[in-house]
Amino acid sequence: DSGVTQTPKHLITATGQRVTLRCSPRSGDLSVYWYQQSLDQGLQFLIQYYNGEERAKGNILERFSAQQFPDLHSELNLSSLELGDSALYFCASSISGGDGYTFGSGTRLTVV
C-alpha cells in the first residue's frame, strides 16, 4: 500500500456518460497530480492541486474537471465520455517540489 488511495479500481461505462474518480493523497502530502496513461501516449499530465488550489494544468480536455477538497482528497470528473477516453488514470501526491511522487494504484476506465 503506497498510502495513496484511488477508487474505484475499475470502471466500465457507456459513451456520453459522466464518471467521478476519487483520490486520497498520502498523509502529509499537500500536492495532488492527475495523470492519464494510455499505451501510445505514456503518462500525460492532466492537472495539479496544492493545498486546495489549482496549481498547474496540462492537456486536460474541457470535458474533464477536477477539484481538491479541504481534507485534501481530490476528484477528477470526466463527462461526455468518448471511446478514446479509455485509459488508466493515476493520481499521485508529493510533499513538495524536491520530493518524488507516490502514485495510487490507478483507475482503469473503459468506455464502451
Partner 1 sequence: QQPVQSPQAVILREGEDAVINCSSSKALYSVHWYRQKHGEAPVFLMILLKGGEQKGHDKISASFNEKKQQSSLYLTASQLSYSGTYFCGTAQSYGNNRLAFGKGNQVVVIP
What does the chain come to in residues? 112
> Given the complex with partner 1, which of 82 and 99 has the nearer CB atom?
99
> Given the complex with partner 1, which of 81 and 93 has the nearer CB atom?
93
Nearest to 35 by CA among 103, 99, 98: 103
Q: For the window 34-53, what string marks contact with partner 1 as x by the rule CB under 8 A?
A: -x-----xxxxx--x-----
Q: Which helix (H) or strand (E) holds 43?
A: strand 42-50
Note the helical H segments in 1-112: none
Does position 93 interact with partner 1 (CB under 8 A)? The reply is no
Shortest Cβ distance from residue 48 to partner 1 (Å)? 5
| Spatial separation of the C-alpha atoms in residues 107 and 35, rounded to whole Å | 11
For partner 1, the binding residues (CB under 8 A) are 2, 31, 33, 35, 41-45, 48, 55-56, 58, 90, 94, 96-106
